[in-house]
Structure 1
Amino acid sequence: MSTTDTRDQAVEEPVESLRDLAVEEAALDLLAARVAAAKKNVRARMQAALDRAAKRDGVERVAAELPTGQAVATISLRKGSVGPVVVDEEAFARWVAARWPEQRQEFTETRIVRTVKEWRAAELVAEMAALELSPAPGESTRPALWADPDTGEMVEVPGVLIKPTSARTHSLTWRKGGKEATAEAWRTGVLARQFAAITAGGEQ
């Protein structure tokens, strides 16, 4: 068989239309923006609802079920954390310098104001965090305490507060077959109400 015959028998790959590609990219760009906005909105509403349910009934997780009743995923509450945060570096540095006067040059440094060197601040904050003290009910912050290793005395540390260091959030865990079932429900219109924010007209 000649080279010409082989070339004639070869199946040429179709050339994609620039117009088709352009409208596909534009549509997906719009869809991605609307999905991102809708996801941000529903996560905020979900977090608020979970926080209320956890406070009222101790609920920390909920199943995501399709209208058919099939559970496709689980939403779980992730509690925030609290810990010592330096809020006044100058006050903290004065306390460190007064507490360890012979090592004040090693532990602190003077710029425009005296500050605690990062490595020493990290050590002390870790020691405060190890006490695992949280704000009292109804309070968002409280003074940080440090345990003197020589005397066991609990010392209130100026310039450092125990306060939230990360916000409460939640996670979504897909169940086996959940993604496929959700995709099929989307394709068939079963989730039309849930996707109304994405398919509605106008700018989002």
Structure 2
Amino acid sequence: MDLQALAIEEAALKTLADAVNDRLKEVKQTMQEALVETGASRVDANLPDGTKVATISRSDAKPAAVVTNPEAFLDWVRKNSPHNVSTRLVTEVRPAYTTALLAEMTAAGAAVVADKETGVVEDVPGVEIRATRSLTHSVRPTKDGRDRIAAAWRDGELGHLNLPQIAAAPAKEAS
């Protein structure tokens, strides 16, 4: 085992991975902005010869109920379901009840709860329906997409892309 050879290989791979990951973040952000701007939900990734190698698919944020004002929520639960409030050093709504109520409100698409006995629908203060994850997209290669991209890379067919180069470190000024 050549420890020095492994050390330089790992250092080189880490440097390359960092450069690729930095560029990937930039491209992913630009792609997301383009998907939103154009309204496209899906785009095929094709090699220069037209071969489809992947599909980019937009995922929209899913709205869900979240507690935004714990005090107002606690006051509402105290009035409407006091057995689901526990008092210790901290007074809080029982987590299982919070989870159940939030799930019910998420399903309803509104911060409201219907009384099971009377059917009266009531607003729940301290809760809002909000997007719980940011907009994103996924890249799904075709069955042989990774192999085709690797071959195109080896054959120099991806030279038109703005792929990262490892830049020299900026020169330090003498003090």
**What TM-score comes out, normalization by structure 2 length?**
0.86
Q: Which has the larger radius of gyration?
A: 1
1:85 aligned partner? 66
2:48 aligned partner? 67
For residue 163 of structure 1, give the secondary structure of its aligned residue in structure 2. Answer: strand
Q: State how far apart, in whole Å, the 1-side matches of 2:50 and 2:104 are.
A: 50
Assess if the C-alpha contact under 8 Å between 1:64 and 1:73 holds in 2: yes
Assess if the C-alpha contact under 8 Å between 1:92 and 1:115 holds in 2: no
Quote how far apart the aligned CAs of 1:131 are. 0.8
* Structure 2 residues without counterparts, runs of 5 or longer: 170-175
Identity across matched positions, percent: 39
The answer to whether structure 1 residue 98 and structure 2 residue 79 are counterparts is yes
Assess if the C-alpha contact under 8 Å between 1:128 and 1:147 holds in 2: no
Quote how far apart the aligned CAs of 1:61 are. 0.3
CA RMSD of the aligned region, Å?
2.0
Q: State how far apart, in whole Å, the 2-side matches of 1:42 and 1:162 are.
A: 30
Quote how far apart the aligned CAs of 1:32 are. 0.9
Residue type matched to 1:33 in 2? D
1:158 aligned partner? 125
Residue type matched to 1:165 in 2? T
2:10 aligned partner? 25
1:139 aligned partner? none
Q: State how far apart, in whole Å, the 1-side matches of 2:11 and 2:155 are.
A: 24
1:183 aligned partner? 150
- The count of residues paired between Structure 1 and Structure 2 equals 169
Quote how far apart the aligned CAs of 1:195 are. 4.6
* Structure 1 residues without counterparts, runs of 5 or longer: 1-15, 134-143
Q: State how far apart, in whole Å, the 1-side matches of 2:152 and 2:102 are.
A: 50
Assess if the C-alpha contact under 8 Å between 1:145 and 1:157 holds in 2: yes
Quote how far apart the aligned CAs of 1:111 are. 4.9
Quote how far apart the aligned CAs of 1:151 are. 2.5
Post-superposition CA distance 1:4-33 (Å, at most 9, x none):
xxxxxxxxxxxx655544432222111111
1:13 aligned partner? none
Q: State how far apart, in whole Å, the 1-side matches of 2:30 and 2:167 are.
A: 22
2:87 to 110, 113, 126: 110
Higher relative CO (Cα under 8 Å, sequence separation at least 6) belongs to: 2
